[in-house]
Amino acid sequence: MSKRNERTLYECLHPQVWGKKIACAKGHPLGLREDGSIDIRRLARGDRLGLKKCQGCPDFDSMGEPVPDSQKGWVGGRAPVAAARNVGL
């Protein structure tokens, strides 16, 4: 699957933030943690969140077209480190 057609957590309706982690509301594991969550710092840093586990997910529900990089609030595709510090991460 090309990066252009990649499914990301930014587009899916099911990721939920719980404290300092992101989990799937449908119960699918996103990461290797015991509870299947991933660290919210990945989101705060502006990391690419096109997880392999999401690519063939039968419960993927798209929120619509991806937001263009120019409208994501940071330049160069990455959030400034200071922004992550400001949210307590």
In a domain, 30, yes or no: yes
pLDDT in tens, 32-56: 899 999 999 998 888 889 999 899 9
In a domain, 85, yes or no: no
3-state SS class at 23? strand
What distances in angstroms separate CA 79 from CA 31, 41, 48, one per listed residue? 21, 11, 11
In a domain, 67, yes or no: no
In a domain, 57, yes or no: yes
The pTM assigned to this predicted structure is: 0.67
Domain limits for position 42 = 1-61
In a domain, 42, yes or no: yes
Average pLDDT on 66-73 reads 68
Give the integer Cα–Cα distance in Å for 74 and 16: 22
Number of domains composing the chain: 1
